[in-house]
Every structure is written in C-alpha cells, then in structure tokens.
Amino acid sequence: MQITSKFTIGVHIIAALEYFKNDYSMTSSFLAGSVGVNPVLIRTIMTELKDAGLIKISQGKTGIALAKPVDEISFYDIYKAVDCIDEKGLFHFHENPNVNCPVGRNIHKAMDKRLSNIQASMENEMKNITVGDVYSDIKREMGIK
C-alpha cells in the first residue's frame, strides 16, 4: 500500500505558492526547482489541482496562484485532486485467492469491510488537516511568525 508522491508534491506546490506569492512569478520551472522534480510532472499535477479548483493558472505575470486560502485546502482535497489511488481503493487485494481453500474462499468477505473502514478513517483524518497547518509549521521552522 502506498499513496503516490503526487500527493506530497501537490502539498509542496500549494505551500510554495503561498510562501513565494509576493516575491516571485510562479512558473512550473520555479516550482520544479523547489520540489526537485521535472517541470513536466509539476505541470501534470498543477492541471489536476486546477481542475479541482485549488489553483489558478494564467499566462503572463500572474502565472500560478492559489484559488483559495491555504487554510481552506485540506489534505483530502489534494488527495482527491491528484488521484493518488485508483477506483479500487487504497488497498489492492490479490486477484485469485484459491476458492478450494477455506481461507482463500473467505478472505475477501473477512477483510473487505475492514479495509474500507481503514481507508474511510484515513480520508476523514485528511479532511481535518490543511495545507495551512503545514505552512505554519514551515514558517515556525524558519523562525517566521
């Protein structure tokens, strides 16, 4: 089980947009330098963030900006925007348990609801954490109030 790095990159992009908003014109190349990845990946994730209404992208001087305050952008918003998991969910079950085995025959029934509950709990927790929380921690680490 692993959520892709697109999630943490999405959080990084939004935190960087907040931090540098008054000092630099935001571009995918600038953000790629902060994140440490190829600008193509940044553009892909930015498109997803834009489609979710989290950022605005325009040509020229305004460049890339937040569509709403960081305190209103939850981890869950980013998680859903960048499609960290597929339609099957967070947990991927092995495809062919042996139906002739009593464990193989019943493992899905015994685990599916539990795994679904774990994913729902995680997603509910993500709804309570914002990029603003992360941004506050970044500022505190830098000695900025």
The answer to whether residue 88 scores a pLDDT higher than 80 is no
Distance, CA of 94 to CA of 116 (rounded, Å) = 15
Give the model confidence (pLDDT) of 1-49 as tens digits. 568 899 999 999 999 999 999 888 889 999 999 999 999 999 999 999 9
Q: What's residue 1's pLDDT?
A: 53
Q: Where are the domains of the chain?
A: 6-141
Q: CATH fold of 6-141, please? A: Arc Repressor Mutant, subunit A (1.10.10)
Region 128-140 average pLDDT:
96
Q: Are 13 and 42 in contact (CB under 8 A)?
A: yes
Distance, CA of 129 to CA of 133 (rounded, Å) = 7
Q: What's residue 131's pLDDT?
A: 98
* Alpha helix ranges (H) inside 21-141: 28-35, 39-51, 75-81, 102-127, 131-141
With tokens 């499609």, the residue in question is: 83
Q: Are 119 and 111 in contact (CB under 8 A)?
A: no
Q: What's residue 115's pLDDT?
A: 92
- Closest-CA residue to 54 (of 13, 25, 21): 13
